[in-house]
Chains A and B, each alone.
Chain A
Amino acid sequence: MDMKREYYEDIELIGSGVVLFWSAAFLIFLFTLPIYMPNYYIYLLNIIIVNVILAVGLNILVGYTGQISLGHAGFFAIGAYGTVFLMTHFQIPFVFALPLAAFIAAFFGFILGLPALRLEGPYLAIATLGFGLAIMHVIGTWDIFGGRMGLHAPPLDLGIPKMGFSWVLESDVSMYYLILIIAVIMIVSAINLMKTRVGRAFVAIRDSDIAAEVMGVNLTIYKTLAFAISAFYAGIAGGLFAFVCGFFDPFTFNMILSIVFLVMVVVGGLGSILGAIMGATLITYLQYDLLKNVSETPYLGDFLISVSRKWFTVIGLENFGSIALGLIMIGIIIFEPLGMYGVWIRIKKYWMTWPF
């Protein structure tokens, strides 16, 4: 199907005119979306896009570099707390606080990348997991971060208040545009990154770190870099998440959140940016909308309530989301290890070679 005729085609940002056309059409669709969407869904969309940013970043680490991380909720938390903390305590405007917090997260990613140089598989999993728990515990213990009471995000001011220029975003819709623009920039840079020397080094490390080292890839630099970049994405996503939610406490960033992030990447498809976007969208939608209100969905809701009455408890039905997520995780590995991206590839192949 996609035949490459010269090496230059390998590093093109946009493969063909078809991709360009549909990407542009989809972007226009996204930018006009608030006109015909009810307001509640804009809030949901904001969370989806925030998670897309995070999933794209996590995919760079897990899908492209082949390192596992069960501590991404930690970086997410650093982004959220860092942005709000810098804004409220140091009066740094949002436009500087967000990247600064993301760089702090990237620094922690670099630190976490150091043990990753010597660890792999389960050992790395427990190290990253411990990191996530430690971050959650630190922000929950230190009163300067609001302790267990959580933090309220200040008004989202895009201007610089000290210079008498302020531009406060109040509605979900205006926030939606801000997040969407940031997300587009982050996704395009991720796609671009994967076409550069750095991206190819990541993929080489995933396929075999010994072979990569033999070919001259500096493992120390590139493994820590992968962690740092991934943490940077998580930091940006966290900073935006703080303003989408408006209020958050340490328990928001628990271990389950790290697992859910991993699920997004795995369900979407490891090692593909499109997959990360699809996975994050699907899982976030399921979590925040469909599974949250599962008892109100037609047919299925009534059925589940009757099952609950008979065998379980109706009040515990809210746990159905966790059951569904678990089944999705297991099912995707058993039936479609490439994730939604694998399904997409199969559909594409079918139609490209149709009727054969």
Chain B
Amino acid sequence: MKAAIIGSTTLAVAAGLGFYTWTVSQNANGVPCGDTSVASAAIGGPFELVSETGEMVTDIDVITKPTLVYFGYTFCPDVCPLDSARNAAAAYILEDQGHDIGTVFVTIDPARDTPQIVGDFADNFHDEMIGLTGTAEQVDAASKAYRTYYRKQEGDPEYYLVDHSTQTYLMFPETGFATFFKRDHTAEQIAETTACFIDQLS
């Protein structure tokens, strides 16, 4: 059973990655932006989710500037805070350099993550970090649009865990997806690559 689950995970992730065309993006001066391989296929796009104040918002409302988007859940005490803190640290570095950057945390556990809980969680890392939740359908649609994977583990109805992908996506308001970061990228690397794309695309 465990092997089957791992197998399906690999398959799902592989299927997601299958949409990617691997190229290396360059900035206006022909210099590659960081060492991240960049997908040119459609990642992201329209979504409808619920803000921390309980209002319905769309991608247009949320991604108003270069934005780092991460999918996780607040019951996760280890990886999600670690990655969110890193994304916040990248935002602080970029802000110090004079860049206007947004950060977004989308829960893939809307059953437990109410607007207030996901909002509090996001604010814990950066005052401006936007926490988003929604109905199960809305969250699923957003996750699919970003080609992220999540799977609720079986077990306790209250204290269950959720497997989930840990990429962070750099999105721009007009042009959409720019690149993604893996979890072993540092805040400094994310800031450097993001600044490169801002120079290229803004």
Query: Are A and B a genuine interacting pair, yes or no?
Result: no
